[in-house]
Amino acid sequence: MKVVAYSIKPFEKEFLSKANQKKHEITLISNPLSAETTFYAEGKDAVVVFTNDDVSAGVIEKLANLGIKYIATRSAGTDHIDKEAAGNHGIKVANVPHYSPEAIAEHAVALAFALNRNLILANDHSHHFNFTNNGLMGFNFSGKTVGIIGLGNTGLATAAIFKGMGCKVIGYDLDFPENNNIAEDVTLPYLYANSDIISLHLPLNEGTKHIINEFTLAQMKDGVMLINTSRGALIKTTDVIQAIYAGKIGYLGLDVYEFEKGLFFEEHKKGTIEDPLLKELMQFDHVLITPHQAYLTREALQGIADQTIKNLDLWQQNKCVGKACACAKNCQAPAHAAS
């Protein structure tokens, strides 16, 4: 299969090469997919994309006109892809439904640790030979209540780490996992009201967008710690900023940002970013922002590459991609579909 992979970072190449074993003719480019870069897909069967690529209806139409039949995203989330438009053009879509949930979970907990123990401030002080302990007091995680919203593989992995630290773990999920001995099943209002730490592990869709907003924030404890390693738009940024000013949020750890598209994954010179909300967030001492790097472990990258190539393999065999199939309803699987 002839493929062009967009938004490829240098550190991804070895993992894709190892997974591919020269089975597919893949062109790796650093350019993001956009209306202006669709021409790279000419003569290809499939495109491989990432979360910040533009896979909107207009771009999909251009890809369809170039003969593209498949779109594979190197991510679990598919909210950046207009799946209805893909279905209308007969383009099949696949994602990476599972890849090292521990990578995301460990990063979520790392954000919580760094915030609680003021590690960034302590490191900065030490690098300036200030070895006082002023302003560095934290709290014990043991005995605290942690609320996990979304108990898929990543949410459960996060819950297990917190439970291992002696936390009481409560959770909410529309499809709460059966035979689960890690998190207690509770309602969202109960979780908001009783959690000292809340960690989000949800896909972004119409039902979850801005799940953290003025109304839900008001139900939380004063000084709550909020962690988001899933999708930026789960949080309404303007409401969260007001909650920080009011003391409702005492700690905020973000690996994703509501308006990260065009910002994250790229280097920007100081003073060139025109995003007043992001700049305001960065003024707070107890806000820690990382650049959408929770997935960035060797194990996770190899898992992503392996599943991406597997999706291409199955399409080439005229088979469905099983649980990785992210097609719209009107984008049907081939007749001889794999289970």
Give 134-144 pLDDT, tens digit per residue. Answer: 999 999 999 99
- Which of 260, 267, 298, 299 is an active site residue? 260
In the sheet that holds 145-149, the strands lie side by side as 184-185, 168-172, 145-149, 197-200, 224-228, 249-254, 287-289
pLDDT at position 146: 98
Active site (annotated) includes residue 292 = yes
**Is 298 an annotated catalytic residue?**
no
Instruction: Please report, in angstroms and rounded to a whole number, the separation of the first and last CA atoms in the chain.
Output: 22
Q: Is the pLDDT of residue 333 over 70?
A: no
CA atoms within 13 A on the CB side of 45: 11
* Residue 102 confidence (pLDDT): 95
Residue 128 a catalytic site member: no
Mean pLDDT is lowest, of 205-214, 223-232, 255-264, 287-296, for 255-264
SS3 of 278, please? Answer: helix
Q: Which of 292, 298, 299, 336 is catalytic?
A: 292
27 backbone dihedrals φ, ψ, rounded to 5°? -100, 120
pLDDT for 171 equals: 97
Which of the four CATH numbers 3.40.50.980, 3.40.50.720, 3.90.79.10, 3.30.10.20 does domain 101-289 have?
Answer: 3.40.50.720
Where in the chain are the domains? Answer: 2-99+298-324, 101-289
Cα distance between residue 279 and residue 259, in whole Å: 12
Q: Helix, strand, or coil here: 114?
A: helix
CATH of domain 2-99+298-324: 3.40.50.720
Q: pLDDT for 113-124, tens place per residue? A: 999 999 999 999
Q: What is the pLDDT of residues 58-108, one digit of tens each?
A: 999 999 999 999 999 999 889 899 999 999 999 999 999 888 899 999 999
Q: If we measure between CA atoms, which residue out of 132, 140, 179 comes closest to residue 156?
A: 179
Instruction: Indicate if 101-289 has the same CATH topology as 2-99+298-324.
Output: yes
Angle at the Cα of 282 (from 277 to 286), degrees rounded to 5?
120
**Are the beta carbons of 2 and 41 closer than 8 angstroms?**
no
From 74, 107, 231, 258, active-site residue: 231
> Does the global pTM surpass 0.85?
yes
